[in-house]
Amino acid sequence: MSQIYIPDESPILSEVLGAYDFPATLLGAVRYGQGHINDTFCLVCQPQEGDAIRFILQGLSTAAFPHPEELMENFIGITSYLRDKVIAAGGDPLRETLSLVKTRDGKDFYTDSNGKVWRLTPFIENTDCFQSATPELFEASARSFGRFQYMLQGYPAETLHETIVNFHNTEDRFAKFEAALAADKLDRAKDIADEIKFVMDRKADCSVALQALREGKLPLRVTHNDTKLNNILIDRDSHEGICVIDLDTTMPGLSINDFGDSIRFGANHSKEDEKDLSKVNFDIELYEVYARGFLEGAQGSLTPAELEYLPWGARLMTLECGIRFLTDYLDGDHYFRIHRPEHNLDRCRTQFKLVRDMEEQFDAMAAVIRKYAK
């Protein structure tokens, strides 16, 4: 193992890599991707002849996922179900859904000596993963996320574990924010009065989707719940979304949240952590492109009430995400990986700017949905 490259900050990798048999000489592991939660590495194996073979190795975040074994059970159930659907449609199951490489002793994942769970998946080659996209690529991602939900319509939702309890319970997110504010562990509240007021002024909004669920207006479905553009792999040849990834939060949820989280991340021209807020603007044209693609992918499966609440999905996912970043900032940055001291505060501010923009353009957002709803 000594000649294999392993990043200094992750010495545990040598133990984890030892749990797997690789098909060719393993050259090493490098940190990979821009996810905020899991520890993701790309592994490269070099056969004597031919192209390198790559894998994605992921250590599941212990801060985010208290029951990783249950999460892996969901992962296996969902990917097996999708594999059958892809095969039935004449597609390539090795490219159109994720699959697992087994450990030397035939297990689906490895638990390291610190108790952290790791999984190994083949790298899906000839794809790109984008942090921002052209309208065409954004629409392609929308079709894929809409289709993902459509394909999972018949999945036995009751068999799925809730990997993060109350994940998109915006009322609960508000309550957790209030608790973090009351604790104010690091004495940070004194400098963020504007952000605190922004959240407090929107307490009633946090109940809009949940109230519609309680009243039976919105159905629970199997949803992805983390539909960022960078959770989809785009095929380099067809420029279509080929594989929906990051299935760790796929569980019963609201369709409007899958729509909304994509809008939050992709219907603007700035980074999620842009410091210059003058560059952060909600783009209703990108919103329209996404709405068209998502509804095409969902193939008429959304109810009239779901269609009506789609704009709320966008507003609420953006508000909720901003609240989550702010809560983590108050709490000492334990949940989202940060790369600079005020990173979560910067992320929160971009979300709140987008919420303001959406509030101003809310009627136009509803009109766009009416245009494409059938």
Residues of this chain that bind Mg ion (CB under 5 A): 35, 231, 246
Taking the least distance from each CB to ligand GN1, the nearer of 58 and 103 is 58
Judged by CB under 6 A, which of 298, 321, 326, 345 binds ligand GN1? 321
User: Closest Cα to residue 16, out of 32, 33, 28?
Assistant: 28
124 scored as a contact of ligand ADP (CB under 6 A): yes
98 scored as a contact of ligand ADP (CB under 6 A): yes
Binding partner selected for residue 249 from ligand ADP, Mg ion, ligand GN1, none, CB under the kind-specific 5 to 8 Å limit: ligand GN1
CB of 184 to ligand ADP, least distance (A): 28
Backbone angles phi, psi at 179, to 5 degrees: -65, -40
- Helices 284-298/135-151 angle, 10° precision: 30
Strands 25-31, 251-253: pairing kind: unpaired
Residues facing 244 on adjacent strands: 232
CB of 31 to ligand GN1, least distance (A): 14
**What gap in Å lies between CA 310 and CA 265, rounded to an integer?**
15
CA distances to 85, 86, 196 from 354, in Å: 37, 36, 16
CB of 284 to ligand GN1, least distance (A): 21
33 scored as a contact of ligand ADP (CB under 6 A): yes
77 scored as a contact of ligand ADP (CB under 6 A): no
268 scored as a contact of ligand GN1 (CB under 6 A): no
In DSSP notation, 10-38 reads -TTHHHHHTTS--SSEEEEEEE-S--SSS
**What gap in Å lies between CA 324 and CA 343, rounded to an integer?**
13
**What gap in Å lies between CA 109 and CA 299, rounded to an integer?**
35
Judged by CB under 6 A, which of 58, 231, 250, 327 binds ligand GN1? 231
CB of 97 to ligand GN1, least distance (A): 17
37 scored as a contact of ligand ADP (CB under 6 A): yes
Given the rule CB under 6 A, which of 174-182, 207-215, 242-250, 269-277 is the region that contacts ligand ADP?
A: 242-250
Q: Which residues bind ligand GN1 (CB under 6 A)?
A: 35-37, 64, 226, 228, 231, 246, 248-249, 261, 272, 321
